[in-house]
Amino acid sequence: MLRVHFTGSDLANVRLARRPDPLWEIVCSLCRLQTREGALAFGPWRRMAGGLVRQGRAAREVASALSSLVPRAAYFPDFLTPPLENGTTHALRTGIDRVLATPRRRLRHELSLLSATGGRPWAGAELARGDVRALTALGATLSTYHRAFIAPVWNRVDAATATDRALRTRALADGGTQALLDSLRPMAVWEPPVLTVDYPVERDLHLAGRGLLLVPSYFCWRRPITLADSELRPVLIYPVDKTPPSPTHSPTALTRLLGPTRAALLHETATLTCATTSELAGAAGVSVPSASQQLAVLREGGLIASHRDGRRVLHSPTPLGHRLLGDG
């Protein structure tokens, strides 16, 4: 178990990442490549990845190189997933630049920890010395891996994490930070002042006023993860629901979306924060049964995602819905 200890100032400094972190998605996906866990959730992606590895030498080499840095073990180097200074997640290029700027002392220390756990990191000696050519190759390898293995499914990653963020934001709006932490059940249990997280090893993390950044992740599986070094800025990477929000939209379904009621409901899902069916009905000036029917059409068209929360159903726009509204 991981026990995250909060102070009062930590509760005032709990943040939720706006977007998935591409470097954490790379690291988590490498773990998924090396196991058969989550067959339903990751089966299609693994088949795509397997095809890339079999058919292309470049894809095979980058997957092998990075898997040696992120082996199927309890430890991988923290320098592969650096935060930005303001604590938010970053674009891939910015993140890679920060990886390449890792101080030599830290490279040497973390790679030695990896070797001590049985890992044989690719270019380990050169990376540990901060060799420019090795670091440049690492940056290119991360970029190539993301382009081949992550970018083809990024819309799916973005949609799943956007839906999760809407749910967490709703919890925060309804009940504050404690409700946000409560919403992490069953993978984490909030019993003030400690958040107990399902974790492969026994560990205590004292935030000591630094706060906590919550980062939703598509490729994270079952249990949250965090950095190995407790002195680094605290983050908790947690898995999102990977159930597709609706059948893949089709031109026929999108055509059905035309009309004032559905347009109003779609607009209100973007205006309100993860709204219920009743709230949307009131905002659009229609009955609840009518709103429920029209929301189903929007969901079938891939423009909103719906999630049951007890007796309520909460709705939020998907990235496609945002784009249709001109929001992204």
Could you report the per-residue pLDDT of 9-25, keeping only the tens digit for each?
999 999 999 889 999 99
Cα–Cα distances in Å, from 225 out to 139, 211, 219? 23, 16, 11
Cα of first residue to Cα of last residue in the chain, in angstroms, is: 39
How are strands ordered across the β-sheet holding 275-276? 275-276, 312-317, 304-309
Mean pLDDT for 285-311 is 88
For residues 177 and 47, give the distance between their C-alpha atoms in angstroms, rounded to a whole number: 40
SS3 category, 3: strand
User: What's the pLDDT band for 37 if we cut at 50, 70, 90?
Assistant: confident
Could you report the per-residue pLDDT of 53-105, keeping only the tens digit for each?
888 888 889 999 999 999 887 789 999 999 866 555 568 999 999 999 999 99
The answer to whether residue 255 scores a pLDDT higher than 80 is: no
How are strands ordered across the β-sheet holding 14-16? 14-16, 212-217, 235-239
pLDDT score of 249: 47
Q: Which residues are CB-contacts of 250 (< 8 A; sequence separation ≥ 6)? A: none
SS3 of the chain: helix, strand, coil, percent, to 5: 55, 15, 35
For residues 296 and 247, give the distance between their C-alpha atoms in angstroms, rounded to a whole number: 11
For residues 84 and 18, give the distance between their C-alpha atoms in angstroms, rounded to a whole number: 13
Mean pLDDT for 170-180 is 91
The answer to whether residue 248 scores a pLDDT higher than 50 is: no
90: nearest Cα among 78, 99, 101: 99
Query: Which amino acid would we find at residue 177?
Result: T
pLDDT score of 244: 58
How are strands ordered across the β-sheet holding 2-5? 188-191, 194-197, 2-5, 203-206
Query: What letters, b where the CB count within 10 A reaches 16 and e where it falls short, cover 265-299?
Result: bbbbbbebbbbbbebbbebbebeeeebeebbebbb
Question: In residues, how long is the chain?
Answer: 328
Backbone φ and ψ of 228, nearest 5°: -75, -35
Question: 182 with 199: CB under 8 angstroms?
Answer: no
For residues 60 and 145, give the distance between their C-alpha atoms in angstroms, rounded to a whole number: 10
pTM over 0.75: yes
Structure tokens at 234: 């605290």
Mean pLDDT for 33-45 is 87
